[in-house]
Structure formats: C-alpha cells, structure tokens
Copies of this chain bind each other. A is one copy, B any other.
Amino acid sequence: MTAYPIAATKAELERGEVLAPRFDAAGLIAAVTTHAETGEVLMFAWMNAEALSLTVETGLAHYYSRSRKALWKKGETSGQVQLVRELRVDCDQDAVWLKVLPQGDGGACHVGFRSCFYRVVEGGRLVERPDS
C-alpha cells in the first residue's frame, strides 16, 4: 500500500505535484463521486489511505465504510462496481473527486436510486426527484 507523504509547505500542498492527502483525525478524506458521462453526483463517501491507494492502483473505486469500520470495494456485493475514469484532488488535499462509470445496474445508492441525492429540498420539504 502506498505510504502518502505530508506536504511540507502550503505551496507544496496547493501547487505541488505530489499527492499528499490530508487525512483527518480518523484517517479519512472526503470523496465525491460523479458519473463520468452525465456529471451527476452519484454519492459522497470516505476513503482511508488503503482505499485511496487501491482506487489508484486498480482503477476501481474503493471507499471506507464508517458504519462497518471496514474497507469497502464499491460493488463487491451489489455489482455496482465503479470504473474510475479520472481522479482529482482539491486545493488543500482533503477531498477527492472521482469520475466513474457505474457497472451492474448503473446505480450507486443502496436505497435503489441511481444517485444517493434523489431528494430536492423544496419549500422546506424533501421531494423525491431522482432525475437530477
């Protein structure tokens, strides 16, 4: 597994060429996953160092499940494997953005919708509108 370095300066963190993820106290960084073709935000999840390095090495999205306290290869049981087309990191390297092609039934959400963000906040209420 890749051992990630810590950026020594703000310039290295923000403009450097070295991936130096800033894991939080629990050892996690935020991961935003969008559909590589439609741009739809599919899910928001977490990665630990192992999940991030496995994602980079295999090209398949891996996350860390905080509820199960375990590495989680997306789609391992659901078939909703995610082929990673591009991986980006943000300015302060505490979040990554994955552009993926969902396999299986094309979904990403355990509730059964394509995206986890199937509800809009509207007039103070939540309205299910899966076509984002």
Contacts and interface: CB of A to CB of B under 8 A. Distances in A.
Interface range on chain A (Cβ under 8 Å from partner): 35 or more
Nearest to A120: B88
A83 interface: no
Interface in A38-74: 38-41, 43-44, 56
B91 A127 contact: no
Contact of A117 (B14, B39, B89, B110): B89
A90 to B, nearest CB: 4
A97 B16 contact: no
Contacts of A120: 86-88
Given A17-B126, A97-B41, A111-B15, A121 B32 contact: no
Interface string A11-46: 000111111000000000010101000111101100
Nearest to A45: B95
